[in-house]
Every structure is written in C-alpha cells, then in structure tokens.
Amino acid sequence: MKPETESRLKKIKRISNISRAICKVLFALAICLSLLGLIAMIAGRGTLAFADARIPLEPLALPSRLMLAVTFALSMAIMVKGLYHLHRLFGNYGRGDIFTAESAAQIRQLGITALLWAGATFLWTSAAAAISLAQSHSSNINVHFDGNCLVIGPVIVVISWFMEMAAEMREENELTV
C-alpha cells in the first residue's frame, strides 16, 4: 500500500473511532431523554412542543397522553435505530472495512431509517394536531410531512445497493487473481 493511502486509511480509522464514540454518547443521551419524556407525558407534566404546536400536558386525558407517549417512543426508537446503524458503520470503517457488504447493509439501514423518520414525523404531527384540535375546537390543523426524508431515504438505499455490488465485484476480482 502506498504511504499516502496508508495515511488516509489511518485518518479514516481515527475519525471513525471518534464518530463511533460520539454515536455511543448520543445513543445513551437519546435513551435517557426518551425515558424522561415518556415519564413526563404519562404523568401529564409540562408542555409538549413540536413543529408549530405547543400542547400543555396537564389538561389532557390519560388516553391522549398515552397516544402521545407511544408516538414519541416510536420516534425516539427510530432515532436510536439510526444511531445504532451509524455506530456499526463507523465500527466497520474503524477496522478498515470500508467497501464491504456489511458497510453497504448499514448504509441501506440508514436509508430505511430515513423513510421511517418521514412516517414518524407524519404520525407525530397528526397526533399533535388531533389533540390540539380537540383542545381548542378550531378547524386549523397543521400536519407536517417530511418530504426530504422521502427523497433521501430511497437515494441512500440505491447508493447502498451500488456499494454492495461494488464490494461483490471487488471480492470476485480478488478471487480471480
């Protein structure tokens, strides 16, 4: 391996290991914030703010708070899923496994996570709008749908497919030499 290439690989490994550690911290933080948020929603304490809606939790009935808690838990689970796949991807890169089928699979999972995030955003804003509508008895409903994730998700999945094919071609070439 050329000295320049070896130097670049060391840099990739170092940055990947740092990024992996950041993912671990964010993973733990997301879980802690999720638990605190769920407890606050079920207990009916505080105000829920999402997009343009601010919903005080105290006046909500338990079924409404539970609906918000389930939607919140789903959203946080999708975020944790994304962090998990990033952690795995950076782990692969930290070992020098860059163009491999496993790395492509993690990238594909990130694309799927983006699609799930679009769905969760729609669900979350729909729930918040329904509760806001029920509280104020107005007809003004603002539901947000994350169109960016609907475009980015499939593009990432296609890129991962190309990466997986490239990894298979590389392995095939290594076997024929």
Q: What is the mean pLDDT of residues 100-112?
A: 96
| Predicted local distance difference test score (pLDDT) of residue 150 | 87
In 3D, which of 175, 70, 172 has the Cα closest to residue 124?
A: 70
Amino acid at 91: G
Q: Where are the domains of the chain?
A: 3-176
Residue 177: pLDDT over 60? no
Say how far apart CA 34 and CA 28 lie, in whole Å.
Answer: 10
Instruction: Outline where DSSP puts E strands in the chain.
Output: 47-50, 53-56
Q: What is the mean pLDDT of residues 112-121?
A: 92
Handedness of CA 113, 114, 119, 125 (dihedral sign): positive
Most confident of 23-32, 52-61, 65-74, 145-154: 23-32
Q: How many residues does the chain have?
A: 177
| Predicted local distance difference test score (pLDDT) of residue 140 | 54
| Predicted local distance difference test score (pLDDT) of residue 173 | 83
Residue 139: pLDDT over 60? no
Say how far apart CA 58 and CA 131 lie, in whole Å.
Answer: 13
pLDDT band at residue 144 under the 50/70/90 scheme: low
